[in-house]
Amino acid sequence: MENILTIKDVSKILKMSKSTIYKYSERNVIPSFKIGTSLRFFENEINEYLISITKEQRRKFIVV
């Protein structure tokens, strides 16, 4: 079974404030879902997000 993370977990992993995580979630920048009223995240989707932003940042530094 896949790990489910809380807002606190994601905040620590991404080194972002909880309010930023909430904003990113609302804007669908970071995939999330709710269990009741609590926001939750699949660990693999957070890892995929990290990989995608690091690839994007690397592209900015490639000199053609």
CATH number of 4-60: 1.10.10
The pLDDT value given to residue 62: 63
pLDDT in tens, 24-50: 999 999 999 999 999 999 999 999 999
Q: What is the pTM of this model?
A: 0.82
Q: How many angstroms separate the Cα of 22 from the Cα of each of 13, 30, 32?
A: 14, 9, 10
- Domain extents in the chain: 4-60
The pLDDT value given to residue 60: 72
The pLDDT value given to residue 36: 96
Alpha-carbon dihedral angle through residues 34, 35, 38, 40, given to the nearest 10 degrees: -60
d(CA 59, CA 47): 19
The pLDDT value given to residue 1: 72
**β-pair partners for 5:** 41
CB 5 within 8 A of CB 13: yes
